A and B are shown apart, each in its own frame.
Chain A
């Protein structure tokens, strides 16, 4: 296989100062701006009334007792279990005791859940709009020429995406136009944002984090879940537990680990 000659194109050094640096600075600044805009626009956590909070917290109490029962002694555990079981079955913690048998309110019509969904949509918008704007700005002003050479080779198929404005056949895919620098910046500047703005800033990739966070919290207090059924399920869970405590045999462990 004949050695492919290295393609060099002599470029104006001013190219860097007028193109690379402005794009980078703009992307960093819009990232910072987006982070602070998200922080300022975030809605305050809404205040729930006492009955709703009591309903949610009592369910959490039951779940905590179920998962952490080994730290309790036998007597504490049975006391808690009896109190919670009687309260759950009698519906003492419910928000509206009259609506026990009916279906839970529709998520669309229940006003308390709308604001949760609006918050998520606002975050999505805050991500999408600046990215679209910057992409169109770059395409308008910075298209039609290649800027720089990637240090490592790519396949031919990347050429159509990354050499957008320049339609040549033979040029190495290593030469890129400015839109590819934009893509590199999106991925690479996340660590810079991490460094500048501290952890969990709004300028980093939120899509992945939101995708992971949504499943765990969706089951419990989300719209459309019936608390009465949850309470009754919790009663059954508490009833089947075989209790043991970490305090059993603790004196034996202490004597074994003590060295003379």
Chain B
């Protein structure tokens, strides 16, 4: 009967809400990853620059998601800046999880548009 356990029982974590939040973030990141692939292909970026472009833009998307969606209700509730604990469980996964699950879509559209535009 530790104090952490009691806190979880007083304010329980609802599984459905957690799933909904992470699914929203996942969908957004997959979609934008495919679109960034289009951009990278049209710009004609090659290996390292292409991946760097992807990482930067993906982090930018997550930052915008934080500023526009999470901050308006999380800052007044007393959380610090860049603290996502009101909606998401682990900050590491919030910021970097999108990189891995969007990678396949990014490579697909990148290759497609690279070939189409470069002729």
Residue ranges of A at the interface with B (Cβ–Cβ < 8 Å): 11, 13, 16, 20, 24, 70-71, 147-153, 181, 184-185, 187-192, 194-195, 199, 242, 244, 246, 253
Interchain nearest-CB distance for A139 vs B (Å) = 20
What is the predominant secondary structure among interface residues of chain A facing chain B? helix
Report if A191-B102 is in contact (Cβ < 8 Å); known contacts: A148-B115, A149-B115, A151-B41: yes
Interface segment, one of B63-71, B84-92, B104-112: B104-112
- CB of B58 closer than 8 Å to a CB of A: no
Report if A188-B51 is in contact (Cβ < 8 Å); known contacts: A151-B110, A194-B30: no
Q: Which residues of B contact A153 (CB under 8 A)?
A: 47
- Bound-state CA distance A63–B112 (Å) is 52
- B33 touches which of A13, A20, A149, A191 (Cβ 8 Å): A191
Residue ranges of B at the interface with A (Cβ–Cβ < 8 Å): 1, 6, 9-10, 23, 27, 30-31, 33-34, 40-41, 45-48, 50-51, 101-102, 104-105, 107-112, 114-116, 118-119
- Bound-state CA distance A147–B111 (Å) is 11
Q: Which of A24, A151, A184, A187 has the most CB of B within 10 A?
A: A151
CB <8 Å contact, A188 and B115: no
- Bound-state CA distance A171–B110 (Å) is 21
- Bound-state CA distance A87–B24 (Å) is 44
Report if A16-B108 is in contact (Cβ < 8 Å); known contacts: A151-B41, A246-B6: no
CB <8 Å contact, B115 and A16: yes
Q: Which residues of B contact A16 (CB under 8 A)?
A: 115-116
Name the residue of chain A whose CB is nearest to the CB of B50.
A151
CB <8 Å contact, B104 and A152: no
Interchain nearest-CB distance for B62 vs A (Å) = 16
Report if A188-B41 is in contact (Cβ < 8 Å); known contacts: A148-B115, A151-B110: no
Identify 7 residue pairs between A and B in the complex whose beta-carbon atoms are under 8 Å apart, listed by A's number. Answer: A20-B116, A149-B115, A185-B108, A187-B104, A188-B104, A191-B101, A195-B27
Q: Which residues of B contact A147 (CB under 8 A)?
A: 115
- B10 touches which of A150, A189, A246 (Cβ 8 Å): A246
- Bound-state CA distance A194–B31 (Å) is 9
- A195 touches which of B31, B40, B48, B112 (Cβ 8 Å): B31
CB <8 Å contact, A152 and B30: no
CB <8 Å contact, A192 and B115: no
CB <8 Å contact, B23 and A199: yes
Interchain nearest-CB distance for A204 vs B (Å) = 11
CB <8 Å contact, B104 and A20: no
Name the residue of chain B whose CB is nearest to the CB of A12.
B119
Q: Which residues of B contact A195 (CB under 8 A)?
A: 27, 30-31
- B111 touches which of A70, A71, A148, A190 (Cβ 8 Å): A148
Q: Which residues of A contact B104 (CB under 8 A)?
A: 187-188, 190-191
Name the residue of chain B whose CB is nearest to the CB of A16.
B116
Interchain nearest-CB distance for B9 vs A (Å) = 5
Name the residue of chain B whose CB is nearest to the CB of A148.
B115
- Bound-state CA distance A150–B107 (Å) is 9
CB <8 Å contact, B116 and A152: no
Interchain nearest-CB distance for B94 vs A (Å) = 19
- Bound-state CA distance A191–B30 (Å) is 6
Q: Which residues of B contact A188 (CB under 8 A)?
A: 34, 104-105, 107-109
